[in-house]
Amino acid sequence: MECGQCGKQNPPDARFCIQCGAPMAAGAGGHDGPPEDRAAYGGFWVRVGAYLVDGVIIGVPQIVAQAVISPETMAVRGPDDPVPPAEVAWFLVNMLVAWLYWAGMHSSRYQATLGKMVFGLRVVDFNGERISFLRATGRHFATILSGMILMIGYIMVAFTRRRQALHDLIAQTLVVRKEWVR
């Protein structure tokens, strides 16, 4: 099936174009897909709220565990003090936990982290389907780029037609309200 906006060939059951994300013809794959109305997508502030909920859910247990297991890594260091190996180890553990949480939850049957579930959001591909763990991993690490450029990658949500952040564009994903998921 050819996209009416960009001309890219798509699978016959595609709900959204794999190139530009435009909804395909109504009824494709037995579903009309999200409307052109931006209300079908998760907006900037609702996504900020979901991220804050996730930050508490994942951050508090990490801080408590680190404080209990190796409190010396929580001490304030001077700029010339060497970084203790235990602090590096905790940084790596925290990165691993965050990756497994975000990529695992986005690729799970829930298609959302706990924070996104609270706000009724789901992460889907351009066909409206659940994303793979590999795609969720790419999306997770692309969030680093979204933040590195003065958070502009995140702010893009407020201005893009389908409310996509830079990491959504890179991973070819959409954050939609759950009523638009099959």
pLDDT tens digit string along 162-175? Answer: 999 999 999 999 99
pLDDT tens digit string along 114-142? Answer: 999 999 999 999 888 999 999 999 999 99
CB-CB contact of 104 with 136 (8 Å)? yes
Report the b/e string of 159-175 with b at 16+ CB within 10 A: ebebbbbbbbbbbbbbb
pTM for the full predicted model: 0.79
Q: Residue 98: which of 142, 41, 54 has the closest Cα?
A: 54
Bridge partners, 122 (sequence order): 176
- For the chain, which residues score pLDDT lower than 70? 25-36, 181-182
